[in-house]
Amino acid sequence: MIAIVGPTASGKSALAMRAADALAGEIVSADSRQIYRGMDVGTAKPTRAERARVRHHLIDVADPGERYDVARYQREARAALAEVRARGRVAIVVGGTGLYVRALLDGLDLAALPHDPAVRARIEAEAVGARAGVLHARLEALDPLAAARVDPRNVRRVIRYLEVATVAGRISDQWRRGPSVPAVRVGLRPPRAWLSAAIEERTRRMVADGVLAEARELAARGIDARLPSMSAHGYVHWLAHLRGEIDLETAVARTARDVRAYSRRQMTWFKRDPLVRWFDPTTEDPLPALLEAAA
């Protein structure tokens, strides 16, 4: 099996498609926003043509109104891997959600994380009406590493991490591992300036590809902006523009800013994995090395 990881806009999906073509493979997404139906442009989902060419799993498996968590991802992704193996094909895990990748490949025992309903209820009550970033700042004081790995706007996950950190201490000390999944792990790490430009270009392309119409449709469906699905980068800004609160250029600039910050958190997560072999895709094509390692 192959895993392709790295920050957003680094070229993971394009590399995965090339690897799938070369190896007769199928792609298992590890992206916590591409799971949602109706959020295609804003999550840079593979196109319908790409999905027709190569079979993809764990894309469009949930409604934006659902609460989809990492435990469900772990179950469904493991089932997808079993299906791919049963067909005698190569599974290519690709995505930038570090927790999903680790849950799938490293066998995290998610049920082992402690729960305390009273603590969780108290934190949830404190979150109501709190200023953005307040809960994340508390998490950073308790567990800086966990805080670096979670988007401050993903309130549900921040609350969960705070619950664990309050009850039992550092999250990384609480996870237990089950059986891991052997995989060739390849990471894309382009230069910061190149990645920043790629993020800017992708954000502007989203506007041309119809992200505003997509955001308008989500709003018309009454999707709560506080749901995890809506924390996907940009939707909050696209919706603010549609409400007339900011102009389009501001929405583009803020979306690109948020995605750049997210890319840094992604690298904080992935660079701790000693099994990842890193490539700068601007100077070296990773595909030959990937195919050789997978042979």
Please name the residues in contact with 277: beta carbons below 8 A apart, sequence gap of 6 or more. Answer: 185, 186, 187, 289, 293
The domain that contains 159 carries what CATH number?
Answer: 1.10.20.140
Q: Are residues 147 and 90 in the same domain?
A: no
User: What is the C-alpha separation between 266 and 140, in angstroms, rounded?
Assistant: 16
Buried/exposed code over 107-123 (b: 16+ C-beta within 10 A; e: otherwise): bbebeebeeeeebbeeb
Residues in the chain: 295
pLDDT interval class at 291 (50, 70, 90): very high
- For every residue of 221-249, DSSP letters joined together read TT--TTSGGGGSTTHHHHHHHHTTSS-HH
Interatomic CA distance for residues 164 and 258, integer angstroms: 26
Whether 87 and 200 share a structural domain: yes
**If you average pLDDT over every residue of the chain, what do you get?**
89
pLDDT reported for residue 68: 86
Give how many domains the chain has, as a whole number. 2
**Which residue among 128, 154, 173 closes a domain?**
173
Per-residue pLDDT, averaged over 197-225, amounts to: 94
The more confident residue out of 40 and 170 is 40
Q: Report d(CA 206, CA 215) in Å as an integer.
A: 11
Expressed as residue numbers, the domain containing 104 is: 2-110+176-294
User: 222-243: per-residue pLDDT in tens?
Assistant: 887 777 788 777 999 999 999 9
Residues 118 and 104 both lie in one domain: no
pLDDT of residue 171: 67
Last residue of one domain, picked from the residues 150, 173, 196 = 173
The answer to whether residue 40 scores a pLDDT higher than 70 is yes
